[in-house]
Amino acid sequence: MGTSAFAVDVLRALHASRHRPLLVVTPPDRPRGRGRRVTPTAAAEAARELGLEVLQAESVNEPQSLEAIASARPEAIAVCQFGQLIKEPLLSDHLMLNVHPSLLPRWRGAAPIERTLMAGDERTGVTIFKIVAGLDSGPVALMEEEAVQPRDTAGTLSARLSKLGGALLVQALDRAEEGTLELTEQPEEGVTYADKIDPSERTLDLSRPARELERVVRALNPHVGAYLSLPSGERLGVASARANGERLERGELRALDGRVLVGAQDGALELLEVQPPGKRPMAIADYLRGHELPSRADA
Q: Residue 299's pLDDT is what?
A: 83
Q: At what angle do helices 210-219 and 112-119 cross, to 10 degrees?
A: 160
pTM, rounded to two decimals:
0.95
Q: Residue 155's pLDDT is what?
A: 98
Q: Residue 32's pLDDT is what?
A: 77
d(CA 282, CA 92): 51
Q: Residue 31's pLDDT is what?
A: 85
Contact 30, 36 (CB under 8 A): no
The amino acid that residue 11 corresponds to is L
User: Which value, to the nearest 10 degrees, does the dihedral of the CA atoms of residues 148, 151, 155, 159 take?
Assistant: -50
Query: Which runs of consecutive H residues, i.e. helices, occur in 109-266?
Result: 112-119, 154-178, 210-219
d(CA 205, CA 251): 9
| Backbone dihedral region for residue 35 (phi beyond 0: left; psi -120 to 50: alpha; all else: beta) | alpha
Q: What's the pLDDT tens digit per position in 177-225?
A: 999 999 999 999 999 999 999 999 999 999 999 999 999 999 999 999 9
Contact 39, 29 (CB under 8 A): yes
Q: Which domains does the chain have, with CATH numbers?
A: 5-194 (3.40.50.170), 199-290 (3.10.25.10)
Contact 259, 197 (CB under 8 A): no
Residue 261 to residues 24, 163, 258, 264, 275: CA-CA distances in angstroms? 47, 36, 10, 9, 15
Q: Residue 281's pLDDT is what?
A: 95
| Backbone dihedral region for residue 69 (phi beyond 0: left; psi -120 to 50: alpha; all else: beta) | alpha
Residue 108 to residues 134, 152, 212, 220, 233: CA-CA distances in angstroms? 10, 20, 21, 18, 36
Q: Cβ atoms within 10 A of the Cβ of 10, count?
A: 27
Residues of the chain predicted below pLDDT 50? none
